[in-house]
Chain A
Amino acid sequence: MYTFSNKLKTFSIALIIIGAIGVAYGFMTSHKSFAEVETLLAVEAHHGGDHSEVASHDTHAGVHADDADVDGHKEHVEHVQHQIANRPWSALYVAAFFFMMIALGVLAFYAIQIASQAGWSPVLFRVMEGITAYVLPGALIVLAIAVASGTIGHYNLFIWMDPEVVAHDKLIQGKAGWLNIGWFAVRGLIFIAGWSLYRHFSRKFSIAQDTAEDNSNFKKSFRISAAFLVFFIYSESIMSWDWIMSVDPHWFSTLFGWYVFASMFVSGVTVIALVTIYLKSKGVLEFVNENHLHDVAKFMFALSIFWTYLWFSQFMLIWYSNIPEEVTYFVTRFNDYQLPFFGMVVMNFVFPLLLLMNADYKRVPWFVVMAGLVILFGHYIDIFVMIMPATVGDRWFIGIPEISSILLFAGLFIFVVFTALTKAPLLVKGYPFRKESEEFHY
């Protein structure tokens, strides 16, 4: 049995507290009055800060297009005011989604390992089960923030939640059958229910198998894993349209679900590697050796390339055909998010490609940790670049609201995951492939 060390527990709670304070600060400082924004813009214009009205009318341009008699200046100030108010919401949402998707990616990986009857990974099952404990709270938090942004907040994430926007927007009206808060929340709850039910039962069977006389629990978990994977790929696709793509309700992409999936999958596998290395360094995973690490690192390497493949496929198809209604998505990112947009390709592709190509390096823990941290940070930026252009536009920055949100959810993630790890022995005793996995070598 693993015991959650007091040091780590204190650390995670400290992260939660510091993060919560920073998030609260972000919300307190983001409600600027009309006059305040007006002076802010005047100061920026004075200093040569070129936030031209044309450039910042990206997402809401269609919204106000009909109101020809509205004063341009007033409209611009209100637009910026809204963007500033969106920032803490978006920062919170990006961080919440990022940690949720890690847990969800691990859940998918776990189901694949069971369904494919992998012989190398059973010694890592308890680590994966620990990480997936975050799926339920994490996903509920994401959905809660999404819904709250439309009910408590002032439509700070999804403009399709704003009835006034919808009233003036034919395109969103056409999608209103799908994009309305009620149905959005119900869909989200169905997905979360499906994921957590699988997580609950696979964990239950896994623990029951430890003391079982026969393989019936293993067979049951095999069956539900196969069923879950079918459910997962549908629900994950739809979740990515709902929770991410709908921040840009005028835009759509067909491979978006896969793209988000690749991001969550590689982040999940990376976190498996990091948690495994941490627990191994504490001496509680003697049965895990460098061969297991090598296999996990191979997954990190291959999935990073898979992510890049999808990123490029989505980008290149839209860039090549350059159809105005699709390409605005990337135009915004090119103009206002150049560094994060291209920086994440370096972090998520070039870095892992060069660092993890060598077979010997994949067996060195500190090397995998370094590569893993770069990958995780890169995928945070990936989610950041998906959400932020639609909500805060060119008013983005990685400052107190963003970093505090990361700290808040990192603390929560560590707390939930390591608490779950203490609940069961770290080796799956009765699992049929345990012996093979313990003696696995590459």
Chain B
Amino acid sequence: MEASKVIHAIYTDDDVLMSAVKKVKAERFHIEEIYTPFPVHGLDKAMGLAPTRIAITAFIYGLIGLTVAIVMMNFIMIEDWPQDIGGKPSFSYIENMPAFVPIMFELTVFFSAHLMVITFYLRSRMWPFKNAENPDPRTTDDHFLMEIAVDGNAEVLESLLADTGAVEINLVDKAH
């Protein structure tokens, strides 16, 4: 791979950023990444990012949690040692089911929530002691940064970005 260069265009307003994204997309340049201090509503749509599938994983994790709860309590309370505890019918799972529902519910939520969060961390590559990948510390406060790959067309890109209202345009070598 050749030595990759990127342009960092910095904005100070999310509305300007949004219109800049639309213009850059219209000119068919590829936006590598955008760094913002807070969620900008509609940015993912403007960038054309694929929708997240994390809700689907959460649903599947919930089903797993429900299954764990049912199998666990069926084994412990019904199959392994079906004691008479206060007259509760432990002959079959369904007969004593109402007593298990609170646990079934909680485990469904527990699995769904925790596994989804862990999935989120893995997919977004976030963990303790991870080195921050921030190209410019100002993007955590009040600046927005758009990173565009340069493919021998730096001048065209720079003038386009200057038109979109960028306050600062830097050509940087990206040391991978």
Partners in one complex: yes
Chain A residues at the B interface, C-beta cutoff of 8 Å: 312, 315-316, 319-320, 322, 357, 359
CB neighbours (8 Å) of A312 from chain B are 98, 101
Docked complex Cα distance between A312 and B98 (Å): 8
Tell me the B88-106 residues at the A interface (CB within 8 Å). Answer: 98-99, 101
Docked complex Cα distance between A282 and B130 (Å): 57
Interface presence of B87 (CB below 8 A): yes
Docked complex Cα distance between A357 and B55 (Å): 10
Contact B87 A322 (CB under 8 A): yes
Contact A320 B99 (CB under 8 A): yes
Most chain A CB within 10 A, of B87, B98, B99, is at B98
Contact B59 A316 (CB under 8 A): no
Contact of B59 among A319, A320, A322, A357 (CB under 8 A): A357
Q: Which 6 A-B pairs have the closest CB atoms?
A: A316-B98, A319-B98, A320-B99, A312-B101, A316-B101, A320-B98
CB neighbours (8 Å) of A315 from chain B are 98
| SS of A interface (majority) | helix
Range class of the B interface residue count: under 10
Shortest CB–CB separation between residue B77 and chain A, in angstroms? 14
CB neighbours (8 Å) of B99 from chain A are 316, 320
Shortest CB–CB separation between residue B30 and chain A, in angstroms? 28
Chain B residues at the A interface, C-beta cutoff of 8 Å: 55, 59, 87, 98-99, 101
Chain B's closest residue to A318 (CB) is B98
Chain A's closest residue to B55 (CB) is A359
Chain A's closest residue to B87 (CB) is A322
Docked complex Cα distance between A359 and B55 (Å): 10
A-B contacts counted at CB < 8 A amount to 12
Docked complex Cα distance between A314 and B144 (Å): 53
What are 12 residue pairs bridging A and B, where the CB atoms are less than 8 Å apart in the complex? Answer: A312-B98, A312-B101, A315-B98, A316-B98, A316-B99, A316-B101, A319-B98, A320-B98, A320-B99, A322-B87, A357-B59, A359-B55
Shortest CB–CB separation between residue A220 and chain B, in angstroms? 35
Shortest CB–CB separation between residue B101 and chain A, in angstroms? 7
Docked complex Cα distance between A320 and B55 (Å): 35
Shortest CB–CB separation between residue B136 and chain A, in angstroms? 32
Chain B's closest residue to A317 (CB) is B98
Docked complex Cα distance between A315 and B98 (Å): 9
Shortest CB–CB separation between residue A315 and chain B, in angstroms? 7
Docked complex Cα distance between A359 and B51 (Å): 12
Docked complex Cα distance between A137 and B19 (Å): 55
CB neighbours (8 Å) of B98 from chain A are 312, 315-316, 319-320
CB neighbours (8 Å) of A359 from chain B are 55
CB neighbours (8 Å) of B59 from chain A are 357
Shortest CB–CB separation between residue A311 and chain B, in angstroms? 11
Shortest CB–CB separation between residue A190 and chain B, in angstroms? 38
Docked complex Cα distance between A357 and B59 (Å): 10
Shortest CB–CB separation between residue A375 and chain B, in angstroms? 21
Docked complex Cα distance between A320 and B99 (Å): 7
Docked complex Cα distance between A28 and B59 (Å): 53
Chain B's closest residue to A322 (CB) is B87
Docked complex Cα distance between A370 and B55 (Å): 23
CB neighbours (8 Å) of A357 from chain B are 59
Docked complex Cα distance between A320 and B98 (Å): 8
Shortest CB–CB separation between residue A292 and chain B, in angstroms? 19
Chain A's closest residue to B88 (CB) is A320
Q: Contacts A316-B101, A322-B87 known; list 10 others, CB within 8 Å.
A: A312-B98, A312-B101, A315-B98, A316-B98, A316-B99, A319-B98, A320-B98, A320-B99, A357-B59, A359-B55
CB neighbours (8 Å) of B87 from chain A are 322
Shortest CB–CB separation between residue A343 and chain B, in angstroms? 16
